Amino acid sequence: MASSGLQLLGFFLSLVGLAATVTATVMVEWKKQSQGKSHRIYEGLWMSCSGNERTTCEIHESLLKLPTEVQATRAVMLLSIFLSAVALLVSTVGMKCTRFMDNKPASKATIAMIGGIMFMVAGLLTLIITSWYVKVIVQAFNVSHRLQSYDFGKAVFVSWAGGLLTMAGGAFLSCRRCSRSESTQSISSNHLLSTTNHQSNYV
């Protein structure tokens, strides 16, 4: 029961982390710039928005015209989402609360561990690329004129949270200590039951 609870907690955390990663990927406010008191400019991975009270947005049409940090962040975030989606399917098969492969507990535990590792890799990719994106923005902010440079926005924090939650959930899913102890208990109980049956046959 303890390992099943940990797996459910890890699955839930990974699911929330995946949702946060998807949300951060489609958000516009990856970096922002203020011009005057009310005019704002927001740059995202897919579009840019500007305006005062009423904001107008334009989708990035040409991939080659985008800055390097935007291209790399877009690619790695999509890779992380894809990896988390595959890990979601793999973990569903390997979790104890599902009925897939019930006759093979050792293989099922291994599949759950693989899904957890995939979640951890996806979360690590999200954290690395987001931190690198912030580093590029901070370096440009320090070098250029501060009134004309960008600052990183809310999407960065959402992406960091998504990466951390995904890694934490993957760590719970990949833990095999509880599953090994339960499988050992089941094997010993089956051995005891078979021994009792053999003894009853001699009576």
* 50 in any annotated domain: no
167 assigned to some structural domain: yes
What is residue 139's three-state secondary structure? helix
Handedness of CA 125, 127, 131, 134 (dihedral sign): positive
Q: Is residue 41 part of a domain?
A: no
Average pLDDT, the chain: 78
Nearby residues of 17 by Cβ (< 8 Å), 6 or more positions away: 84, 119, 123, 161, 162, 163, 164, 165, 166, 167, 168, 169
pLDDT digits 0-9 by tens, 73-105: 999 999 999 999 999 998 888 676 666 666 676
- The predicted structure's pLDDT at residue 102: 61
One-letter amino acid at 114 equals: I
* pLDDT tens digits, one per residue of 131-185: 999 998 888 777 766 555 677 788 999 999 999 999 999 988 887 554 444 444 4
Number of domains in the chain: 1
Indicate whether 22 belongs to any domain: yes
By residue count, the chain amounts to 203
Q: Is residue 170 in a domain?
A: yes
Task: Note whether residue 55 is domain-resident.
Answer: no
Tell whether 124 is covered by a domain: yes
Which residue, 158, 133, 173, is CA-closest to 14?
A: 173
Q: Are strands 151-152 and 55-59 parallel, antiparallel or unpaired?
A: unpaired
Q: By residue range, what is the domain housing residue 152?
A: 2-29+66-194
CATH number of residue 182's parent domain: 1.20.140.150
**How many whole angstroms separate alpha carbon 116 and alpha carbon 140?**
37
* Assigned domain for 201 exists: no
pLDDT by residue (tens digit) across 4-61?
A: 778 788 889 999 999 999 999 999 888 887 765 666 788 888 888 887 767 788 887 7
